[in-house]
Amino acid sequence: MNILAGLSEPTSGVVKMDGFEVSGPSLDRGVVFQNYSLLPWLSALRNVTFGVAARFPQWGKARVIEHSTAFLAKVGLTGDAIHRKPSQLSGGMRQRVSIARAFANEPKLLLLDEPFGALDALTRGTIQEELIKVWSDTDQTVFMITHDIDEAILLADRILLMTNGPMAQVAENVEITIPRPRVRNDIVEHPNYYAIRNHLVHFLAQRSAELSGKADGPNSPETVRIDLTGEAGTDDPEPAPLLRAVEV
């Protein structure tokens, strides 16, 4: 993730985006860190305006605040809460601020590094829904790392499965054939849901270990498409949020 963001250098190889090599951190790639990484001396709103002002230096102060407030409202933070310091917010609210900061910057690619890892299941569910809401307004390309299979199926268009380390590599590209808009409660009823879920569980439980350490594995991962509905493929070229499930 740090290499994708440009915060670390790869040992070998390059990361390319839009045909250009990633040579350092850039506003084109927004990052939501697992530990929120909010600046604790700034209020929630100021944390977002901090990013917006860096992204759009030509904007006036009022426009920056308006834009930031709008994105905070999209993740459900309004009123008094946006003027509080991160230490006065719950973990879920902090991650909301962090998500608002990343989306408000409108980067070409948004990188989410296990954003819900530190949250309890209930909060995680709420914020996942908010993430879908913010995302569907922007159609932002999102790359997210998660360990949570249900979260991956709910949010992703494609899941890239990684093998165990050392020499972990992308082994499979699983397409999620459940139509949007997706609601947590309804997608479990979809015929494809458990087929995909079982496939993922089998991979994580068994094959990721079997495939690990095999550097001579396939260079381009095999694409897996599980669709029990028999509908026509949803081959629309909208920017797809990528999702990578990693087993540790």
Partner 1 sequence: MRALSENKKAALLSVLLLVVGCLIWEMSIPAQKAVGELTEYELLTGGGQPKAGVPPPSQVLGKAWEQLSNPFYDAGPNDKGIGIQIGYSIYRVLTGYFLAALIAIPLGFLIGMSSVAYKALNPFIQVLRPISPLAWMPLALFVIQDSEASAIFVIFICSIWPMLINTAFGVAGVREDWVNVARTHELGPLKTAFTVILPAAAPTIVTGMRISIGIAWLVIVAAEMLVGGTGIGYYVWNEWNNLDLTSVIFSILMIGVVGMLLDSMFGLLQRAVAYTE
Residues of this chain that bind partner 1 (CB under 8 A): 5-7, 24-27, 29-31, 33, 35, 37, 39-42, 50-51, 54-55, 85, 87, 105
Residue closer to partner 1, measured from CB, 5 or 204: 5
CA torsion sign for 155, 157, 160, 161 is positive
CB of residue 246 vs partner 1: minimum separation in angstroms?
20
Smaller CB separation from partner 1, 104 or 196: 104
User: Smallest distance, Å, CB 40 to partner 1?
Assistant: 5
The 8-class DSSP code of residue 211 comes to: H
In the complex, minimum distance from the CB of residue 145 to partner 1, in angstroms, rounded to a whole number: 16
Q: From CA 233, how far away is CA 187, in angstroms rounded?
A: 18
d(CA 90, CA 94): 6
Nearer to partner 1, 51 or 92 (CB): 51
Which residue's CB is nearer to partner 1, number 40 or number 165? Answer: 40
In angstroms, give the least distance from the CB of 31 to partner 1: 5
Alpha-carbon span 82 to 234, nearest angstrom: 39
8 A C-beta contact, residue 242 and residue 141: yes
Q: Which is nearer to partner 1, 140 or 212 (CB)?
A: 140
CA atoms within 13 Å, Cβ hemisphere of 75: 29
As a whole number of angstroms, the distance between CA 111 and CA 242 comes to 10
Q: How far apart are CA 102 and CA 8, in angstroms?
A: 19
